[in-house]
Amino acid sequence: MTHADSDSVSSMLADVDTAVHVTREDLAAFLSRDDYIILIAEDDRIAGYLCFMLIPPEAELLDIAVDRSFRRKGVARTLLNEGIRLLRTRGITKLFLEVAVTNTAARTFYGTHDFTENGLRKNYYGNTIDAVLMSRII
C-alpha cells in the first residue's frame, strides 16, 4: 500500500465490520512508520487490507479486512500468506493478535491458519466485548 491508496482503502474499511475504525489519517500515520507493514489486495478496486506491527522477534496482526463482495474467495488467505512470507524475511518468528469473542468468521479464519487461542482480555472492545488472544509460530 502507498499513500495514493489511502482514500480507496479507507472507503473500503468504512464498510467493513471491524472492531476498530481506521480512518484515512490513521492510514497515513501507519504508512509513515518503519515498524508497520501494510498490504492490500486489488482487483478493479481494493479487495483486502492487512496491517502488521513489528515488535521483533514478534509481530502483531493489527487488522485484516476484506470487502464484502470479495469474501470467501481466498483474499484474506493470500494476504496472510504473503504477509507471513515478508515477516520471515524480517526475522519475525511469532505472530499474535486479538479478535472479538463474537467474531466467528475471523476466529474460524485464524483457526484454519494454525493460530491457537491462548488467552482472553475481558471487556477489550468498547468496554463490553471480550477479546480472544491468538498466536502462532511462523
Ligand X SMILES: CC(C)(COP(=O)(O)OP(=O)(O)OC[C@H]1O[C@@H](n2cnc3c(N)ncnc32)[C@H](O)[C@@H]1OP(=O)(O)O)[C@@H](O)C(=O)NCCC(=O)NCCS
By the criterion CB under 6 A, which residues form the site for ligand X? 16-18, 63-66, 71-77, 99, 103, 105-106, 108-109, 112
Distance of closest approach, residue 110 Cβ to ligand X, in angstroms: 8
DSSP SS3 for 83: helix
Q: How far is the CB of 62 from ligand X (least distance, A)?
A: 8
Closer residue to ligand X (CB): 77 or 136: 77
Three-state DSSP class for residue 23: coil
Residue that the C-alpha cell 488467505 belongs to: 77
Residue among 56 and 111 whose Cβ is closer to ligand X: 111
User: Buried (b) or exposed (e) across 70-81, using 16+ Cβ within 10 A?
Assistant: beeeebbebbbe
CA–CA separation, 59 vs 97, rounded Å? Answer: 9
Q: Which residues pair with 120 in a beta bridge?
A: 132
CB of 112 to ligand X, least distance (A): 4
Between residues 46 and 92, which has the closer beta carbon with respect to ligand X? 46
Minimum CB distance to ligand X, residue 122 (Å): 17
The Cα–Cα gap between 54 and 48 comes to 20
CB nearer to ligand X: give 28 or 105. Answer: 105
